[in-house]
Chains A and B, each alone.
Chain A
Amino acid sequence: DTEVTQTPKHLVMGMTNKKSLKCEQHMGHRAMYWYKQKAKKPPELMFVYSYEKLSINESVPSRFSPECPNSSLLNLHLHALQPEDSALYLCASRGFRGSMVYGYTFGSGTRLTVV
């Protein structure tokens, strides 16, 4: 298995809703990432987990809450979002030299629309 799987692929939520994005990989990667991508812009790093511990938070608002329950799963909990948070949310994991898949492997993303 050389993939990063993200669910759901599309999500529409209201500003008062609580929802979660999920990311899963079974490549044994111990670093996992959340990126946010607005239309026609490059991906921007949000969070990094290394060995299931949060190592980087790029000053992301608290309405985004990441969670890494185990080495294969990464969640992004969403609460009280704003319409400007509508974007493509990408999950990635990182392999190391000698691993089956080297470099960063990205999922296909969750297209989030906040109404």
Chain B
Amino acid sequence: DAKTTQPTSMDCAEGRAANLPCNHSTISGNEYVYWYRQIHSQGPQYIIHGLKNNETNEMASLIITEDRKSSTLILPHATLRDTAVYYCIVRGTSGSRLTFGEGTQLTVNP
């Protein structure tokens, strides 16, 4: 599975959009981009995933560049409860591993 690079930490004001970037320049054609988050002392929570089209669900939007070498997770109206570590993971459709990188600590400030 391709390696990902994320900023170590980010801050966002409550009510504003949080845009979390992820670089995955070695992604291959059949690999999906997944986003999970982990609120302190809880298990990771699935947010969204995509292959090449932009995706949106009730939690977030995922924007994947045309060359698929990077993506951005967008939380449209961040709340204090969105403070968490956000993990960007690239994974193929076969195999069983979900491998976490270091992730981005997002802090939403009042």
- Nearest CB in chain B to that of A106: its residue: B43
Contacts of B38 in A (CB 8 A): 43
- Once the chains bind, are B96 and A42 in contact (CB under 8 Å)? no
- Once the chains bind, are B96 and A31 in contact (CB under 8 Å)? yes
Q: Which of B14-22, B23-31, B71-79, B100-108 contacts A (4 or more CB under 8 A)?
A: B100-108
A81 located at the interface, meaning its Cβ lies under 8 Å from any Cβ of chain B in the complex: no
A55 located at the interface, meaning its Cβ lies under 8 Å from any Cβ of chain B in the complex: yes
Question: Assuming the A-B contacts A42-B100, A42-B102, A56-B96, are A103 and B34 also in contact, with contact meaning beta carbons closer than 8 angstroms in the complex?
Answer: yes
Query: Helix, strand, loop or mixed for chain A's interface?
Result: strand
A88 located at the interface, meaning its Cβ lies under 8 Å from any Cβ of chain B in the complex: yes
Contact check: which of A4, A43, A88 meets B100 at CB < 8 Å?
A: A43
Complex interface residues of chain A between 61 and 115 (CB less than 8 A to chain B): 88, 90, 92, 94, 102-109, 111
B49 located at the interface, meaning its Cβ lies under 8 Å from any Cβ of chain A in the complex: yes
Contacts of B49 in A (CB 8 A): 103
**What 0/1 pattern do residues 23 to 57 of B give for CB contact below 8 A with A?**
00000000000101010011111100100000000
- Once the chains bind, are A104 and B98 in contact (CB under 8 Å)? yes
Task: Report the Cα distance A90→B41, complex, angstroms.
Answer: 10
| A contact set with B: CB distance below 8 Å | 4, 31, 33, 41-45, 48, 50, 55-56, 88, 90, 92, 94, 102-109, 111
| B contact set with A: CB distance below 8 Å | 34, 36, 38, 41-46, 49, 85, 87, 96-103
